[in-house]
Structure formats: C-alpha cells, structure tokens
Structure 1
Amino acid sequence: MQYQGVLKKMQTSYDSPIQYYLVFENDFIHVNQLINKKIGIAFVKYQCLACGENKKIYRQGYCYDDFFNQPQAGDWIMNPELSKAHLDIEDRDLAYEKRVQLQPHVVYLANSSNVKVGVTRKSQVPTRWIDQGAHEAIEIAELPNRYLAGITEVALKDHVADKTNWRTMLKNEIKDEDLVEWRNKLKQFLPAEAQEYYIENNTETAIDFPVERYPEKLKSLNLDKTPEFEGTLKGVKGQYLIFEDDTVFNVRNWEGYVVAITVNS
C-alpha cells in the first residue's frame, strides 16, 4: 500500500499510548498501526506550506521568501517575550498576531530528557508536551497572553533548563521527577506581573508513547542526503519515527517535503 502527501507534524490524540496520525490532503495514516511493519519513505518534491510551490524548503516548512514573510514564522513564535500584539503593534500581520497572542497561554514544566520550562497556548495542552516527547508535565501558570507567558519563561530560564536533549529523550534515558515540587520551588522566581496567575493546586500529566524498542545508537534520517529509506518501525515518540536499525526520523523537521510512503507487512 502506498500513500503520498506533504509532510506536516503528526496529529495526536491523548490516549494510553498516544495515538499518532500522518494527515495528507486526501488521506491519512494511523501510524500506530504501522509498528512492526516495514515501511519505505521516498522524497518526491517540495511543497511550501504557504505558497504551495515546488521550491526548496528553507525552514519550518516554508520556502525562503515565505519564511521571512509569513506571520506563522515570526520571531515571537520561538521567542514569546517578543510578542507585541497586546500593544497593538504589528510584526507581520496584526490580525493574525492578535488572534494567536491574545489568548490564554500556559507556562509549564515538561520532563522528556530533563526538567525544562516552556510556553504554549492553553489550547495546545497536552499536544505540545506530546510533541516534545515528555513522559510527564505540569502547568506552572496560566496567563492571558503570549507576552506575559514569554517573560515568565525568560525569568524561569535562570533556574531550570529550557531545552530538551533529543538524544536522551529518544533513548528513553529518563528519570521521574516530582514536578509538583519543582513547580512550588520555582514560584518565587515568577515575575511580579505573573504571580497572580500561578497555579497552586494541580497534578502531573503522565504520557505513554507507543514504542516497542528504543534506539541505542541514533542515526537521523536526512531526506536531503538519503532521499529513499526503508526500515521496520518500532515506535513513535515526540515527532520521531523510531526504526529497528536505530534510524530516527523527525517528521516535523521535514515539513514541506512531499513523500511517498510504502507500507509492507
């Protein structure tokens, strides 16, 4: 059986284990059903997520021109503290920026390779944690806009990590942490503007991933260098497909690439 479509990050549903879906324009793949099956991935062409043209992807699924023009790729996406919609100041598209920035955001702790702090829209909980491969997570504060969440994250970065070690996450070299204790310890470091939004009483969210075998020596599949690959799928964690030969494929890294996926029993 063969499928073809442009890669976008896998959609998920919170279950035990997490359910993963690759969604194409006219079809979808329930990825969990492919575990223990041999699948092939072949690069076909590019398809920019903005203009739809067959132009080399620069970053985040966009061609060079669209990466520097689309509001979805603005600096405030990766650096929430740069958000300015609450001041009525436009970056690239004020209507879009207001729609995204001026809604409830959560500052959280997630444990994927270590305890890290992060920011996401409230509507993206627990999706954001799943995408990061976190096996446990907890909210610290719920704030009314992206800017306040951003400055809160910046303040906490001095006291807790803000990056995930993807290799450790994929090897499952993890330990459980008491995130309630971490949350309480970090309360004192919240900015004054964020103190009233601290969440006093909540519990950890546990996340179970569909992985039958974790890799030992990681090899990342790079479609630019290896446009065709075949292997037996052994699991999915974060946005990574994990194969029997220790190859891992970060679906999100290759957004905007049209691929043909062949499934064999």
Structure 2
Amino acid sequence: MPALTDLVRAANEWLQIDAIPDYPGALNGLQLENSGEVTKIAAAVDACLPVIVEACASGANLLVVHHGLFWQGAQRIEGALYRKLKLAMDHDLAIYSAHLPLDRHPDLGNNALLVAALGFEGEGRPFAPWKGFDLGQRVSCDLDRDELLARVAAATGGAPKLAPGGPSRVRELGVITGGAGSQVGELAATGIDTFLTGEGPHWSYTAAEELGINLIYAGHYATETFGVKALAQRWAAEFAGLEVSFIDHPTGL
C-alpha cells in the first residue's frame, strides 16, 4: 500500500513543483495530508465542494486537482473552505494540487496532451515564455480551420467558439489551456495565425479580428481535464495497488 509521502515526493519531482513559478497565492503540491496511506486516487479539475463530496463517497483517500483549495495566501477557515476541509479530514482524504507546473509539463501537461489529442503528438514546441518557462505549445501545420475546430470539439467534448479573424487555413497554431484569452495581442506578435485557449474576456473577440488572428475558445474546464488524469495514471503505473478514477464536474466555462 503506497505511502502518501512517496506519492507526493514523486509528483513533486516529476512536475518540478518547487522550481516552476505560479501566480501569487497559488499553492502547488500537497495541500492537505491524510493519515498516511493511499489506495484510491480521484482526479478532478477543481477542489470544489461537490467534487470533494463525490471523492469521499467513492472511498478515495487522495484527490488530485488542477485548481486547489488555496489561492489567496492566509485566510480564515470558515464557510465553504471550512466545509471542504472538514469533510476531507473526516474521510481521511488528502488533497494534492498542481496548477502551472502541470499545465506546462512536456508529457503530463494539459498543453502537451491537448496538442496530442488534436493529432499533433510530439510536434509541440515551447510557446509563450513567462518567468523563465513556457506557458504553452506551438505547432506548425497545414489544416483547414473547420477541420481544426472539429478536432478541438472531439478532443474536448464540446463545441468551441471561434473569432474568425485569421486565415481559413491554419499554419501556425498556439495552444495555452485555461484562461489565456487576454494574451491574444502579445501572442499574435509571435507569428501564430490561430490561438487556442479555454476562455477570455469579451474584448478579445474584436481584438482577434483587428489583429488578423483566429481565436478559439474551447472552455477553461474542458481544456484542463487532461493533466490530472495523466498524473493519476502515472502514479498508478509507478506504484502498485492504486485504483484511479476521474470526477467529472464541468462548469461549462
């Protein structure tokens, strides 16, 4: 029966948890420990109350998420945060969170896995440098824009939204999962003709038109289910006796 400390140590090493910067307030790595052993891992995008309820009901003793419990530094343990922590602790559920370290990982990351799901496995190049590492991946291709949209829909399970400011033939595709739409201006300057992300602000639509770039929104949630699944499966492959499940709690955003 694997020890929680061994799983945490392995994931911290794989993801370079201590080396990869993140947004202020983000807390990557183990956020809540349990009594020490793990037999069942639940993976989910968000450490929200419905997910924690389902994880506890499933008998999981480790929940791995992309969006964790803590984003604002020190805060009062009250309200929803109290209910989530109490429920998890009552059911001996540990919680591990990986945000940008998981997004950018070349094998387990949301960006790399979405690029692979679009049919470009192994073709992604580093894209969008930020604080010494790359937020996303870039792909050179020759693909009809409608075909790309169909692939995005198949990969994410939903209909993407398009701001058709660029060419109908996609040749330089940039991908950043999550909510990177506000970066459309700086990313257009890199020479891509199409930018795929999860969501962004209203003004990004007209900005894309004016910049001459295709902007595709495939959903913040939908573009970030890949990494937590892959991390859970990696644990199961490395440590015998682990059961893995995915808790799907889509936001539609």
TM-score over 0.5 for the pair: no
Give TM-score scaled by structure 2 length.
Answer: 0.24
Give TM-score scaled by structure 1 length.
Answer: 0.23
Structure number with higher relative contact order (C-alpha < 8 Å, ≥ 6 residues apart): 1
Name the structure where strand makes up a greater proportion of residues: 1
Name the structure where helix makes up a greater proportion of residues: 2
